[in-house]
Structure 1
Amino acid sequence: MDVPYDEEAHKRPREIEVDGARFERIPIKTHVVLPGEPLDPVIETYALEHLEDGDWLFMTEKMVAGSQGRAYPVAETKARPLAVWLSKRVVRTSTGIGLGIPETMEWAIREVGTPRILLAAAVSVVSKRLFNRTGDFYRVTGPKARGIDGPGYPTIPPYDEMVVLTAAKPRQTSQHVRDLLAGHGKKVDVFLVDINDLGGNVLGSTTDKATEKLVGRVLRDNPIGQGHESTPLGIIRRVA
């Protein structure tokens, strides 16, 4: 399914200045990468021709997780009673439903285990009562649970009816894509990112932590969009 880019719905400047340097952000439109679809042909088909030596290629976590088969239909997810009970009590995040439905909570339990989920629930109750602090449930459960994406708009079909887990082995996956591109004569670094309209976060890369933080800042305004743009790949290129 090929979804047209909605230019009016999502506009961001092509270039951004960070720490006195200017970077161009180049979104790469693809077809919708379906669950279990191999990643390598997607990179070769859509990114290869646009890359120049020294570029930074970034890949969105949802596309990579989907290609890894880590996306599951909500309709086929049977939530246990604990998941139903807890989902009604967590604070929904500003970027989506988070673990606020039984199906996403069920996958969080499967990913991190019942003991950690129960610990997180206990900590969140205590911190709320004693310090009026929220968010500890997500802090204790960690990135595997915190990064789970639920169904609904503006997610592109078929992912709007699926629970998408975090991408597995982000650093190894980034290195694999770098090696793939090197085999085609492209000398680039690769970043696996989780970005939305509240900011960017690098989950794994082929560089160091300082460069990952810089890339997070370069992508902080989400230049590739959040919904039906169908641009799960992008290039960062320093221009000045």
Structure 2
Amino acid sequence: MSEANKGKALSIDVDGVAYQRLPIRTRVVMPGDELDEIIREYTAGQLQQGDLLFVTEKIVAITQGRSYQLDEIKPRGLARFLSKYVTRTSYGIGLGMPETMEMALRECGTPRILLAAAVSAVTKAFGRSGDFYRVAGYKARSIDGPTAHTIPPYNTAVVLGPEKPKQVAQHVQSLLDVPVEVAVVDINDIGGNILGSTLDRAGEQRLVRILGDNPLGQGHESTPLGVIRTV
């Protein structure tokens, strides 16, 4: 296991149970890498029966060929227009740039993005936020744009959400020599989602609380895998 990420606690109590969150440091995962190889290499000797292995959605998407450098993306006029009205969050640019909005249009379809924009415009007038992403769906929420603190080469790239995350979690579970649960997660400094897992619904909700403070971090930690272990 790697050292704890700077400023991130290794343990947390949820519902009266103590859990360790153990980040696994890897090399930078690049397009063309195989997820199976990454999982086998970096989890070898790290897991115990009863653990939960969580995998960030970003490395799943990268190994699926769903990472694009900015100069590969040619935003249409609609993407440039809509991106001006997206509220940028403290942890990332979201769809607030033409390139990420263009990929949202491709992923979700123009009608859905236009509907999300229309709903958001109405509800913002009443002081409500977040409806754009609620309507656009998880594919839009999962798009990661470039930020200064992102590890290269992804500081100049757009990474889409992973395809078939539940099936990915089930496949990863089948690769492991130790019986553990697996989850593909999208966790950031303002919340998180379980995109797919081998858990039931209650288990996924508990996992969101366990990872609520984002123990993997968002920047140069290079810890796209982690283990949850009951103390």
TM-score, normalization: structure 2? Answer: 0.95
Residue of structure 2 in register with 1:235 after alignment = 227
Deviation at 1:36, TM superposition (A): 3.0
Per-residue CA shift, 1:164-222, capped at 9, x if unaligned? 111111100000000011xxx31111011111122332111011011111111111111
Deviation at 1:25, TM superposition (A): 1.0
Pairs within 5 Å for 1:70-219: 70-129=66-125, 131-181=126-176, 185-219=177-211
How many residues align? The count is: 230
Confirm or deny: 8 A CA contact 2:3 2:23 kept in the other structure: no
Per-residue CA shift, 1:20-50, capped at 9, x if unaligned? 1111111100000102311011111111210
Confirm or deny: 8 A CA contact 2:61 2:162 kept in the other structure: yes
Flag structure 1 segments of 5+ consecutive residues without an equivalent. Answer: none
User: What amino acid sits opposite 2:138 in the alignment?
Assistant: P
Moved >4 Å (runs of 4+): none
Give me the identity figure in percent.
59
* Alpha-carbon distance in structure 1 between the residues aligned to 2:214 and 2:86: 26
Residue of structure 1 in register with 2:40 after alignment = 44
* Alpha-carbon distance in structure 1 between the residues aligned to 2:87 and 2:215: 27
SS of corresponding position for 1:49? coil
Deviation at 1:6, TM superposition (A): 9.2
Residue of structure 2 in register with 1:29 after alignment = 25
Flag structure 2 segments of 5+ consecutive residues without an equivalent. Answer: none
* Alpha-carbon distance in structure 2 between the residues aligned to 1:25 and 1:166: 23
Deviation at 1:94, TM superposition (A): 2.8
TM-score, normalization: structure 1? Answer: 0.91
Residue of structure 2 in register with 1:57 after alignment = 53
* Alpha-carbon distance in structure 2 between the residues aligned to 1:31 and 1:94: 26
SS of corresponding position for 1:149? coil
